Amino acid sequence: MALFASLRMTSAGTANNLPLMPTTYQALERVPNACQLLPNVVTGGQPSTADLEAFKESGGRIVLDLRDPMEARPLDEPETAVRLGLEYVVVPVSTGTMTDATHERIHGVLREAGDKPVFVHCGSGSRVGGALLPYLMLDHGLDEEDAIAQAMRVGLRSAELLDWGLEYARRKSI
């Protein structure tokens, strides 16, 4: 505690002239649709190797990829994540996997993460929005309207994904 009390901020945004570590969001802000959804959850589209490196350096721990493993990718993301020491989890969200079991796997990863920083992504952010609607409503108490607004903020653009998330949340909230 005394260490933190002795640090003073300078006009350059550093503490005692030491650079401050970026937040996980700042590390990922170049990712398409990057968004700080919750204190420990950053969302977005496809990251680059540099993005994943910056996420790790900022304290990031888990990458939750919602794309199908057969989707074209600009990098070998599983290999890159493992090389960096990140936990890499794939829970594909596609027309054939939009089930309760998929929601439960996604929410299980987020719940088990606790306070560990998680980056949840797909190609653009749209699947992320639909998949996290129930998490926002059931686990974080957002009402439907606020959850939809947050899902759209992170990239949700599909009526099908919106319906999938809302229907699950409505059934589970009864």
Task: Give residue-wise pLDDT tens across range 15-45.
Answer: 455 557 789 999 999 999 999 999 999 999 9
Q: What 3-state class would DSSP assign to 110?
A: helix
Evaluate if residue 14 carries a pLDDT over 70.
no
Q: Is the pLDDT of residue 66 over 50?
A: yes
pLDDT at position 19 is 59
Secondary structure class of 156 (helix, strand, coil)? coil
Q: What percent of the chain has pLDDT over 70?
A: 89
Question: In the prediction, which pLDDT does 74 show?
Answer: 87
Q: Whole-number mean pLDDT of the chain? A: 89
Long-range pairs for 7-12: beta carbons < 8 A, 24 or more residues apart: none
H helices of the chain, in order, are 2-6, 24-28, 49-57, 77-84, 100-113, 126-134, 144-154, 159-172
Report which residue type is found at 48.
Answer: S
**Residue 139: alpha-carbon gap to chain centroid:** 15
Asked if residue 149 lies in contact with residue 120, where contact means CB atoms within 8 angstroms, the answer is no
Secondary structure (3-state) at 81: helix
Token pair of 4 as six digits: 């933190």
pLDDT in tens, 143-164: 999 999 999 999 999 999 999 9
pLDDT at 3 over 80: no
Spatial separation of the C-alpha atoms in residues 47 and 37, rounded to whole Å? 17
Q: Judge contact between 49 and 34, C-beta under 8 A.
A: no
Global pTM value: 0.87
Q: What is the DSSP letter of 86?
A: -
Confidence of residue 12 (pLDDT cuts 50, 70, 90): very low
- pLDDT at position 21: 75
More confident residue, 19 or 167: 167
